[in-house]
Structure 1
């Protein structure tokens, strides 16, 4: 069964429980990409300086790269399928077990590449920012894997795709033709072109979720909100993240707009927060929530994630979301309007009254033993 929780994981909340039918595809969200081993240093006083040695007060290791998005989706109760290459070293074994056994992610489209070492990213978090150094090589060719990941993705309710300027990914069009709802994000355009025509796969996307700087550069707009409206000429739903100001979204089909301020938290490590935001928005969209609720939920999940080490294993689950909602309601002096913004959690949080799951966090070393 695709995406079935491992027996050791315990009970999980299913946000789509009331929508499921016998005709549904076996997985809710399909992903493909590169899995890294992330090593994160936190508590640095400042950015490392040339010729000096810096000591970090905290350190964590966890699966990274596309694993950030996959774990965030799985922890929110979506049946998640991932196609990726894994090294046959200890890092690759750890990442595979952490995702399949630890998170219940379906890895049947994935494979282990003999003789290929796992890509690694070292991330240093300081002053609310981060600096990353990565190392890796292209995995060796594998016709079966290439066909599965790039030509014939499995049926799914949704897919999350990282768009690459100037390059098409054949699997995105194939997924869209099968009725999969595609959510696109994008990284920094190293070419400097910032040409929306270069994001050829945007035409297959239902929603596009850039940050404010990316949205303004792609559209030429002088403000993020104007950029969001301009993007709806190319995609039905545009969501622009505004950093400390929150997020703004426009749905061309319904005429809805929504803006939600960010939740103030003490950030330990921002790694993967953007992926968690997208996962929260996808969850709310598949569940059929109003645009404002989807935006608020995405911002909440991202805010909870930055309070923990690492990208993938910092993603919150429903028990943590429920605990946050109960806690903020008990604090005196809360702004009633702010509480109303998250009142939709009332119909969801009671379902999360289960034993905390999964509570797996990034650890300094992966050498003590295998996942159960």
Structure 2
């Protein structure tokens, strides 16, 4: 990114907002839990989750990332804030701590290549509430080259339009439509988006199609760039401005935990977009970062950085026959050196210091 940033560029590359969860992940389950029985997991990890997945993935790829989120004033909130701000270097100047509000929690159980999640939490009071208002808070949303949003049917986010008017490039994904209406008109921010990145099921339901590629072409009538992720089948994209299409297969890996893989994919795609890469390279890079992430615990702390990408390229990329598709990494990784291993999800939030 240093090569494409211009003098006087915005203070951050990417801005995003959302809910931070404390994720507790169980892996090594042979099957789904059975009612009335006790299941033992062979692995366990804890890490910040929710919007922290995306923020961490962006930061580990070298993007100056700014996150606006509420944090509880409990131990979970302190852990998540410390991990993101000091561990990952994410700007939290737009975030706030809410006294008396407990952090949302998600328990994720990984088995048979998938995961089942149980979450609990309460919506945080707005930042303007008396318990959380900060009169010295910086302008929000801040000037940023790009913003990432998760669209919610029927719940417009005014900040997206504000950011788009100021020149930010908007990248968006979407979650499951709990209303089951699957109406594109309910996604109020879609006209402001440069790219829309739903998964195959979401894309087909919104477009009433029975093929992910057909869904991508249908969505391209609404956004300049439609990207549909297809799991083990890879990803497919349509650029409505140029008519260009791109398809990249997925990288086969043994998945430990798929939590946050979609967030990491979006982070990889945003990185390539801001760097000005060709569409197919952006898809390939996004798929690679997602594939590397599912081999570790958790959604946020499983995200790869450049040293992990370089290690894959040196030891697995070319021998696995994927070299031709990823030759664009050669120049990018030429100066990439080994660094301190990234923090990963661990079973506990921390040990007390030794007595004495």
**Would the TM-score normalized by the shorter structure come out above 0.5?**
yes
User: Offset of 1:132 from its aligned partner?
Assistant: 0.5
Structure 1 runs not aligned, ≥5 long: 1-15
Matched, 1:138 2:155: no
What is the aligned counterpart of 1:360 among 343, 347, 353? 343
Q: Secondary structure at 1:137's aligned position in 2? A: coil
Does the CA contact (< 8 Å) of 1:120 and 1:136 recur in 2? yes
Runs of 4+ more than 4 Å apart: 144-149
- Greater percentage in helix: 1
When normalised by structure 1's length, the TM-score is 0.91
1:142-161 Cα shifts (integer Å, max 9, x gaps): 31778999x94000000100
Match of 1:241 in 2: 229
CA distance in 2, matches of 1:262, 1:301: 11
Matched, 1:196 2:167: no
What is the aligned counterpart of 2:285 among 297, 316, 335? 297
When normalised by structure 2's length, the TM-score is 0.95
Count of aligned pairs: 349
Match of 2:59 in 1: 74
Q: Secondary structure at 1:348's aligned position in 2? A: helix
Does the CA contact (< 8 Å) of 2:256 and 2:296 recur in 1? yes
1:16-35 Cα shifts (integer Å, max 9, x gaps): 11111222110000010000
Structure 2 runs not aligned, ≥5 long: none
What is the aligned counterpart of 1:95 among 76, 80, 83? 80
User: Bigger CA drift: 81-90 or 151-160?
Assistant: 151-160
CA distance in 1, matches of 2:349, 2:216: 42
Matched, 1:275 2:267: no
Q: Secondary structure at 2:335's aligned position in 1? A: helix
Q: What RMSD, in angstroms, separates the aligned Cα atoms of the two structures?
A: 1.7
Map 1:28-177; keep pairs closer than 5 Å: 28-143=13-128, 152-177=140-165
Does the CA contact (< 8 Å) of 1:75 and 1:103 recur in 2? yes
User: Offset of 1:366 from its aligned partner?
Assistant: 0.3
Match of 2:197 in 1: 209
Q: Secondary structure at 2:172's aligned position in 1? A: strand
Does the CA contact (< 8 Å) of 1:71 and 1:105 recur in 2? yes
CA distance in 1, matches of 2:67, 2:142: 10
Does the CA contact (< 8 Å) of 2:96 and 2:127 recur in 1? no
CA distance in 1, matches of 2:119, 2:210: 33
CA distance in 2, matches of 1:147, 1:229: 45
Matched, 1:19 2:4: yes
CA distance in 2, matches of 1:313, 1:220: 36
What is the aligned counterpart of 1:342 among 308, 326, 333? 326
Q: Secondary structure at 1:339's aligned position in 2? A: coil
Match of 1:9 in 2: none
Relative to structure 1, the CA distance from residue 73 to residue 167 in structure 2 (aligned partners, 3 Å threshold; closer, same or farther) is: same
Q: Secondary structure at 2:194's aligned position in 1? A: strand
CA distance in 2, matches of 1:330, 1:288: 24
CA distance in 2, matches of 1:86, 1:126: 30
